[in-house]
Amino acid sequence: MSLIQLPMSDPGSPDLTSPSRFLRWLRRSQRRGQLLAVLWGVLQMGAQAAIPLLIGRGVQAAVDRDPDAIWLCGAGAFLLGAVQAAAATMLHRQAVWNWITAASQIRQLVARQASRLGGGLSHRIATGEVVAVSSGDVEKIGWFVEITARLWAAVAVWLAVSAVVLARQPVLGLAVLLGVPVLAVSIWPLIGPFERRFDQQRSLGGKASELAADTVAGLRVLRGIGGEELFLARYREASQKVRAAAVRAARVWAVMRAQQVLLPGAFVVGVTWYGAHLVVTGAMGIGELIAVYGATAFLAGPLRVLGEAAHAWTVARVSAGRAVRVLSLARTDGGGEAGTAVLSPDRAARSDLHDPATGLTAAAGRLTAVVCGDPDVAGALAERLGGHLPGAARADGADHDPADAAERRTTAVSLPATAEDPAAAQDGPRAPSARLGGVPLDALPLADARAAVLVHDKEPVLLSGTLAELFAVPSSGRVTPPEALAAVRADDALDALVDNSPESGGDPMRSRITERGRSLSGGQRQRLALARSLVADPPVLVLDEPTSAVDAHTESRIADGLKEIRRGRTTVVLATSPLLLDRADQVALVQDGRVVATGTHRELMHTEPRYRMVVTREETAALEETV
């Protein structure tokens, strides 16, 4: 029962057919913990239920003036009290273990799924939704897994108590045997309304979390344009919607809690009244009445467990549905032979990269630049070239602006149509996978695809830690960190890191990077992230606007360094900067989703007006002059 086993070496392969099946799989995955919790629960509740029987026998012995029986009953009650205390302690320990284990298992599953999908995850489902699943939802699911064992223990003890009372007093035993299920069933009509209201609260809470995450990520920009009050108002509105939904759900839950107190209390009063009537008529002794009353009053405990289990089941089903939705997202639409193809690193380095959707071909060992007039098209192309899921409407319906959603549907290649992504199904058929050496990237095992092609994100994230840790990435060993830093002209970034890290002793590799590189400028962060990609030295490197945050002089030097350090490697750069385009071995112009012209930068500037218009922004300049 040690938590040292966490995190698990393998969280398993969950059943994602439905939320109920997912919860059953989660319970089955910790059978031993569930069985131990049931055992301790039976001992604890059984001892608690048996104590009133001994007390009743002791009272009856006092009435009959039998001191030996009094001492025997007292010793038995003391022993049962000790067993109850020890079992309650062990039950609590095991229940907490089951809860934490289930929550940790789900977090590992979500983390593994995020690692599998990579950059495509945020295009399939809202970031706030993933955060909510990894925090609040796992706690609710863990609660349900934990309470299941206590529920089985409560049912077992209820049946045992009913059997004992039924043997001593058939009428009272029958009332106990049938009364508990009736009281338990009385809660179920409220479960449906509560589940619907909690689902609404959970959905609104996810959107509020998403808004908060987006606001925090863009806080520096918001302060620069004075937009704090606008986003504060938006979050306040979202927060009030969550509060109102929580109040509506709490009303139903309050009624359920009232039932758990009122109905068992009325049941105990009724059974006690009938028992008192039997005592008055001489059909039952006073000690037996005390025993029956104690056993009946004890049943309020199992009834509370039943009510708590009903509540846990309601919220866990909603939370499990969210978790299943995240875990069901697939890297492909299932139409290919995903995970069956083989592509060695040597072959990947010698192979052309081809995108059937646009007709783009990046020759092996050369620097290819791609010019797209629309940044969204460039982003979707970069993701597709890396074997990732291209961007489209997210599964949670997070496209709040219909105009934005319509624009994305006309400019971006849609995601695979899945049951969890109805919006993507409406966007049309999925584009064919990019091919490396004739092998579809989505047919490769994920590890092989990532080893062959690295997509440098347009907005890369720098995790906190030392600069040496930043460069501790899987690599070929061909490019060292100093060489990569020199290629991206990161001298000023290194000086800034050393100045902010007195403990580094002047060594840039020992200097610390703050969370997301907040202490660095945008250009410095961009260059350090680019250096990290160069250190990885993949056979194919895809860069989306890698120098958008630097000045022209630095950009020109980076372009020279990039071409030199990637010599002999396949590199694809999506950009519109003439400084980068002029260093490319070949440039391709993509318009309306297809490659419409290829050549060198200078050739296209002289022969292709559409290319010249995008690169020099002639149309924009003419419009500004007219205005």
The answer on 113 and 215 residing in a single domain is yes
Phi, psi of 455, deg, nearest 5: -100, 115
Q: Which of 296, 327, 358 is the last residue of a domain?
A: 327
The answer on 400 and 534 residing in a single domain is no
Supply the DSSP symbol for 350. Answer: T
The answer on 312 and 380 residing in a single domain is no
Cα separation values, 21 from 24, 95, 317, 320, Å: 5, 21, 10, 9
Q: What pLDDT was estimated at residue 191? A: 67
Residue 301 belongs to a domain: yes
The answer on 160 and 229 residing in a single domain is yes
Helix (H, G, I), strand (E, B) or coil at 586: strand
CA-based end-to-end distance of the chain: 74
Q: What pLDDT was estimated at residue 502? A: 86
Note whether 183 and 310 are within 8 A (CB).
no
Measure the CA angle with vertex 279, ends 275 and 282; round to 5°.
Answer: 135
The answer on 252 and 134 residing in a single domain is yes
Phi, psi of 403, deg, nearest 5: -65, -40
Q: What pLDDT was estimated at residue 340? A: 61
Pairing of strands 367-372, 570-574: parallel
* Side-chain-side CA neighbours of residue 611 (13 Å): 25
The answer on 20 and 146 residing in a single domain is yes
Q: What is the mean pLDDT of each run of 10 residues along the chain (627 residues)?
A: 72 90 90 92 89 82 84 89 93 91 90 77 69 80 89 87 76 69 69 72 72 64 64 81 84 77 74 76 75 73 78 83 86 49 81 93 95 87 77 40 34 33 43 87 82 85 88 91 94 90 88 82 91 94 92 93 94 94 95 93 94 77 39
Residue 1 belongs to a domain: no
Q: What pLDDT was estimated at residue 284? A: 72
Q: What is the Cα–Cα distance from 573 to 568, expressed in whole angstroms?
A: 15
Residue 339 belongs to a domain: no
The answer on 190 and 247 residing in a single domain is yes
- Number of independent structural domains in the chain: 3
The answer on 438 and 313 residing in a single domain is no
Residue 337 belongs to a domain: no
Which structure tokens are listed for 36?
A: 């131990």
Residue 462 belongs to a domain: yes
Residue 3 belongs to a domain: no
The answer on 182 and 144 residing in a single domain is yes
Q: What is the Cα–Cα distance from 421 to 125, expressed in whole angstroms?
A: 9
Q: What pLDDT was estimated at residue 453? A: 92
AA letter at 130: V
Which structure tokens are listed for 377?
A: 């098209």
The answer on 615 and 545 residing in a single domain is yes
Which value, in Å, is the radius of gyration of the alpha carbons in the chain? 33
Q: What is the Cα–Cα distance from 620 to 613, expressed in whole angstroms?
A: 9
Which structure tokens are listed for 266?
A: 């009325």
At 572, which CATH number?
3.40.50.300
If 0-12 CB within 10 Å is exposed, 13-18 middle and 19+ buried, where does residue 67 land?
exposed
The answer on 425 and 448 residing in a single domain is no
* Side-chain-side CA neighbours of residue 276 (13 Å): 6
Residue 144 belongs to a domain: yes
Phi, psi of 354, deg, nearest 5: -125, 135
What is the domain range of residue 289? 12-327
Phi, psi of 596, deg, nearest 5: -110, -10
Q: What pLDDT was estimated at residue 581? A: 95
Residue 333 belongs to a domain: no
Q: What is the Cα–Cα distance from 245 to 205, expressed in whole angstroms?
A: 9
**Residue 361, number of CB atoms within 10 A of its CB:** 17
The answer on 398 and 493 residing in a single domain is no
Q: Which of 142, 28, 112, 135 is nearest to 327 (CA)?
A: 112
Residues 6+ apart with CB under 8 A from 57: 69, 73, 287, 291
Q: Which of 405, 430, 455 is the last residue of a domain?
A: 430
Note whether 391 and 383 are within 8 A (CB).
yes
Q: What is the Cα–Cα distance from 409 to 571, expressed in whole angstroms?
A: 28
Phi, psi of 526, deg, nearest 5: -60, -40
Note whether 501 and 513 are within 8 A (CB).
no
Supply the DSSP symbol for 464. Answer: S
At 129, which CATH number?
1.20.1560.10
Cα separation values, 338 from 5, 219, 388, 449, Å: 32, 40, 13, 11
